[in-house]
Amino acid sequence: MIFGQRVREPKTAKNLTLRALAPKVGVGFTNLSKIENEKLDLGDYPFDVLIRMLAKALDAVLDELFLLAEIVPDRIRKRVLERPDVFCRLAELKDRELDAVLS
């Protein structure tokens, strides 16, 4: 899934228009349209403060939005830095093996 799509889905489910969502997150509706359509002028993703506001306004999972925006959430970054050996080994696992770890 791409970031814009992940923002669009809960917005649509809540029957919110871009114009209705814009004041809740403090940006213009044209900026939200650019986010949804992956057409931002200054980079691929919105800045982290806006991502936090979008997550709150849409009842979306903040960590998921951060990861889709290629931002490692603080709590995950902290654990990786505490246990780099574990995360390096996890990165080498195939999807099937990761699924087994989660089970």
> What pLDDT digit, counting tens, does each position of 70-86 carry?
889 999 999 999 999 99
CA distance 101 to 97: 6
Q: Which amino acid, one-letter code, is at 28?
A: G
In degrees and rounded to multiples of 5, residue 38 shows phi and psi of 55, 45
The pLDDT value given to residue 44: 64
The pLDDT value given to residue 40: 76
- What are the distances in angstroms from CA 4 to CA 18, 35, 64, 85, 96? 12, 5, 12, 33, 28
CA distance 41 to 31: 9
Domain boundaries, the chain: 1-71, 72-103
pLDDT range class, residue 42, cuts 50, 70, 90: low
Cβ atoms of residues 35 and 3 within 8 Å: yes
pLDDT at 1 over 70: no
The pLDDT value given to residue 46: 77
Domain 1-71 has CATH 2.40.160.50: no
